Chain A
Amino acid sequence: MKIALVGNPNTGKTTLFNKLTGLNQKVGNYPGITVDKKVGYFKLESGKNIQLIDLPGTYSLNASAKDEEIVTEALSNKNFIEYPEAVIVVADATNLKRNLLLFTQVLDLKLPCVLVLNMSDVAIKRGIDVDVLKMAQKFGVPVVSINARKGLGVDELKSVLEKPLSPPVQQVFKPLEINAEFVEKAKSVLHSDSNYSAWLIANTPNFAFITEHEEQELNKIRKALNINTQRNKVSETVARYGFIDNIIKECVSKKETKYSSFTGKLDAILTHKIWGFFIFIAILLLIFQAIFSWSEWPMELIDNLFGTASTWVLSVFPEGPVANLLADGIIPGIAGVVIFIPQIAILFAFIALLEETGYMSRVVYIMDKIMRQFGLNGKSVVPLLSGMACAIPAVMATRSISNFKERLITILVTPFMTCSARLPVYTILIALVIPNTKYFGFMNLQGMVLLSLYLFGFVMAILSAVVFNKILKSAHVSQLIMEMPPYKVPHWRNVILTIVEKVKSFVFTAGKIIVAISIVLWALASYGPGNRREVAIQQIEVQAADNNWNEETKNLHLMSAKLENSYMGIFGKSIEPVIKPLGYDWKIGIALIASFAAREVFVGTMATIYSVGEEGDPAQGVKAQMAKDVDLETNQPRFTFAVAVSLLIFYALAMQCMSTIAVVYRETKGWKWPLIQFGFMTGLAYLLSFLAYQFLK
């Protein structure tokens, strides 16, 4: 049986979902739109299988953000792929009145439903007492009281689901009484037999799930009948609250208890004029520190593991394209994905913790005014923060921003934040040209340059937001109306499941692309046109014989000759005129192209180009080889200070990440924005790198 789970945000809906389905969950996508579809499975005692769909949290069916529209669609369109046979509505007993608004809307859609009252610890402490039997009688549907955290009442809920559920009879709000003509006409356009579902959609201009033709027809009707959808929805809401007030009066009693002052006291500090910002910055630094220091050893472990795997493949498989594809294409490709899991897991552990405790709402609260100056929203803080680990989950985290313009700007500027893939590139270039001097005994010059690169990324993100804010027009008013939930001790199970979910979505969206591109790049680097490579190989053989090279030297020269004459080498050479003004040669050109799979590929590509042997730390080896490289025209070292700075700027700004482009495409539903973003970022990178090189050389 297919059951949908709906409820307001912060009601314990996710906790109940996790309790019922455990790890038996899948995250997918609804066709055509970009809202994650969370589905879980569980079995009732009788053996009945339940498929539970966790719909996004919403305050009503009057959708105002993309993830809310899916709830309206799922519950009102009988032909929708996930149209449920029954609905579980979760309501938080502490805010029963507001929670029942959504419930009465679901009731009017005539789907068989169960009302679950989540009696949180707070509700019990506040002495809220609900007459469950009376409420069930009033609404005409089963009402179950549970405590999702402790798992109380879950068995009772399951036994309710065993019995067949019938559609409710009660109609709380009657659209026909407001405007019968409008409802009837909308019904015929939408081919709907439900007054309320037609009313809902007809009052939601630009609803994502109807055809353009239907939208045009509805527009005509709205114009002809002079319909104000806003006013309609206000009358609906007022009517519903009138009904709910009566139910609450009859079924809920509240003992006067002392309101917990814990949240108030914490708020006084955490949203304090000065301390509020101080604490936020301190938490940011802690997260920052954790992402880099805690992830160090698992990342090294992953690196070694895949390195060993590649060596093993080469030693076991017969020499040939299959072994090479595995060892140099597929395994490093997968390694490039897996290596980011520790940082992403740590980042999302923190974000989940901040959200679970209720602190995230306070961050939005104190940052909103500042972010608004730049055309962003208080809610943009989370994506920008996530961008410091990886832009992919960060772009996905923008969905909670309901204003499209603010959401778009956040998506466009998030990739400027210094993600972890840039770090290996920064490290090697800094080590190459910045002296390792210490100031005042603790400030390391290299470290300070690294820190300023992070700041640079952040400043560029903000400045770009200002630019986009000036250019983009929006008809929608920016809003921030947000619940401030009481502070809570985090529920570990939820934190862990969030991490699992985010890592999974990273691996499956970005991962697929990174692996695919790695394979393409491997092919481009391993094959060349005609017999160019064979000719080059023969030349090396001759040179080796002439100069009495030993086996190792010969192999190194062979590798770099092969790369130089591969498709990738030819490509690198062909773009040399374009990148020369930035101070780069064709070798760096190859690395730049290869970096489009993922920026950190730079290091590996440089290692191949400079024919670094296997022994020792490859990064150290590359660094030494890069330092030795000489520009033949000037007879100066190739990696001068100017070139390195130019490269650092290029890597800080250019949109060199296919996976981010793919995710932006998915989130904005088209190629327009990812292409604009690519052009803007890469153009800016080119311009500033050019200026930097020309001034410094």
Chain B
Amino acid sequence: MESTTLADLRPGKCAVITGFADENVPLKLLEMGLLPDNEVCVKGWAPLKDPIHIVVAGYEIALRKDEAKFVLVVPVNIEAQLEI
């Protein structure tokens, strides 16, 4: 699977976090549990396609695409087990 960023992951898709784009990654992302090797699923996009709504480590957070761009992911082939 090709590497991409969390901002490009479509709603309903899941991915595994591989790392961060650069060291200016907002610390808050890490504090909120967006850490390498964790699985992240995109639950949806806001009505105007930004911010995005994700599920990570069993809970849900919203973040802007500008922040999501820092998170490098590899999509996994299982469809999100989300009730969208």
Name the residue among B24, B47, B64, B66 with the largest chain A CB count within 10 angstroms.
Answer: B47
Which A448-504 residues have a C-beta within 8 angstroms of B? Answer: 477, 479-486
Residue of A nearest to B61 (CB): A483
Q: Decide if A62 touches B31 in the complex (CB within 8 Å).
A: yes
Q: What are 16 pairs between A and B in contact, CB < 8 Å?
A: A59-B31, A95-B57, A231-B23, A234-B27, A241-B35, A259-B81, A264-B82, A264-B83, A268-B44, A366-B47, A369-B48, A480-B62, A480-B64, A482-B62, A483-B32, A483-B59
Among A97, A271, A483, A486, contact of B44 (Cβ-Cβ < 8 Å): A271
Q: Decide if A234 touches B32 in the complex (CB within 8 Å).
A: no
Chain A residues near B51 (CB, 8 Å)?
Answer: 365, 368-369, 378, 480
Q: Decide if A483 touches B31 in the complex (CB within 8 Å).
A: no
Any chain A CB within 8 A of the CB of B8?
no
Any chain A CB within 8 A of the CB of B21?
no
Mask: chain B, 45-56; 1 = CB below 8 Å from A; 0 = not: 011111101000
Chain A residues near B24 (CB, 8 Å)?
Answer: 230
Which B25-84 residues have a C-beta within 8 angstroms of A? Answer: 25-33, 35, 43-44, 46-51, 53, 57-64, 66-67, 81-84
Q: Decide if A481 touches B43 in the complex (CB within 8 Å).
A: no
Complex CA distance for A263 and B60, rounded to whole angstroms = 11
Complex CA distance for A369 and B51, rounded to whole angstroms = 7
Mask: chain A, 208-252; 1 = CB below 8 Å from B; 0 = not: 000000000000000000001011011001100100000000000
CB proximity of A262 to chain B, nearest CB, Å: 9
Q: Decide if B27 touches A479 in the complex (CB within 8 Å).
A: no
Among A231, A481, A485, contact of B32 (Cβ-Cβ < 8 Å): A481
Complex CA distance for A479 and B68, rounded to whole angstroms = 11
Any chain B CB within 8 A of the CB of A29?
no
CB proximity of B14 to chain A, nearest CB, Å: 14
Any chain B CB within 8 A of the CB of A261?
yes
Complex CA distance for A437 and B30, rounded to whole angstroms = 61
Name the residue among B27, B32, B44 with the largest chain A CB count within 10 angstroms.
Answer: B27
Mask: chain A, 367-381; 1 = CB below 8 Å from B; 0 = not: 011100000001000
Complex CA distance for A484 and B52, rounded to whole angstroms = 11
Chain A residues in the interface with B (C-beta under 8 A)? 59-60, 62, 64, 94-95, 97-98, 101, 228, 230-231, 233-234, 237-238, 241, 259, 261, 263-265, 267-268, 271-274, 276-277, 361, 364-366, 368-370, 378, 477, 479-486
Chain A residues near B62 (CB, 8 Å)?
Answer: 361, 364-365, 480-484
CB proximity of A275 to chain B, nearest CB, Å: 9
Chain B residues near A274 (CB, 8 Å)?
Answer: 47
Q: Decide if B27 touches A369 in the complex (CB within 8 Å).
A: no
Chain A residues near B29 (CB, 8 Å)?
Answer: 481
Among B35, B58, B63, contact of A94 (Cβ-Cβ < 8 Å): B58
Q: Decide if A233 touches B47 in the complex (CB within 8 Å).
A: no
Q: Decide if B59 touches A62 in the complex (CB within 8 Å).
A: no
Complex CA distance for A276 and B44, rounded to whole angstroms = 13
Complex CA distance for A238 and B20, rounded to whole angstroms = 13
Complex CA distance for A361 and B43, rounded to whole angstroms = 15
Chain B residues near A273 (CB, 8 Å)?
Answer: 47
Q: Decide if B53 touches A267 in the complex (CB within 8 Å).
A: yes
Residue of A nearest to B60 (CB): A484
Given A265-B83, A268-B84, is A98 in contact with B46 using a C-beta cutoff of 8 Å?
A: no
Q: Decide if B57 touches A97 in the complex (CB within 8 Å).
A: yes
Q: Decide if A483 touches B28 in the complex (CB within 8 Å).
A: no
Chain A residues near B23 (CB, 8 Å)?
Answer: 228, 230-231, 234
Residue of A nearest to B25 (CB): A234
Q: Decide if B31 touches A237 in the complex (CB within 8 Å).
A: yes
Complex CA distance for A63 and B81, rounded to whole angstroms = 35
Q: Decide if B46 touches A368 in the complex (CB within 8 Å).
A: yes
Chain B residues near A485 (CB, 8 Å)?
Answer: 60
CB proximity of A486 to chain B, nearest CB, Å: 8
Complex CA distance for A306 and B63, rounded to whole angstroms = 50
Complex CA distance for A268 and B82, rounded to whole angstroms = 11
Q: Decide if B35 touches A238 in the complex (CB within 8 Å).
A: yes
Q: Decide if A267 touches B44 in the complex (CB within 8 Å).
A: yes
CB proximity of A55 to chain B, nearest CB, Å: 17
Chain B residues near A97 (CB, 8 Å)?
Answer: 33, 57
CB proximity of B24 to chain A, nearest CB, Å: 7
Residue of A nearest to B30 (CB): A237
Given A271-B53, A365-B51, is A264 in contact with B31 using a C-beta cutoff of 8 Å?
A: no
Complex CA distance for A272 and B11, rounded to whole angstroms = 13
Chain A residues near B66 (CB, 8 Å)?
Answer: 477
The 6 closest A-B pairs by CB, nearest first: A264-B83, A369-B48, A261-B83, A484-B60, A237-B30, A273-B47
Residue of B nearest to A486 (CB): B60
Among B26, B30, B58, contact of A479 (Cβ-Cβ < 8 Å): B26
Chain A residues near B30 (CB, 8 Å)?
Answer: 234, 237-238, 241
Chain B residues near A233 (CB, 8 Å)?
Answer: 27
Q: Decide if B53 touches A276 in the complex (CB within 8 Å).
A: no
Residue of A nearest to B81 (CB): A259
Q: Decide if B48 touches A237 in the complex (CB within 8 Å).
A: no
Chain A residues near B26 (CB, 8 Å)?
Answer: 477, 479, 481
Residue of A nearest to B82 (CB): A264
Complex CA distance for A273 and B49, rounded to whole angstroms = 9
Q: Decide if A98 touches B59 in the complex (CB within 8 Å).
A: yes
CB proximity of B64 to chain A, nearest CB, Å: 5
Complex CA distance for A365 and B44, rounded to whole angstroms = 11
Among B33, B48, B84, contact of A98 (Cβ-Cβ < 8 Å): B33
Complex CA distance for A354 and B47, rounded to whole angstroms = 20
Complex CA distance for A483 and B51, rounded to whole angstroms = 12
Among B46, B64, B82, contact of A366 (Cβ-Cβ < 8 Å): B46
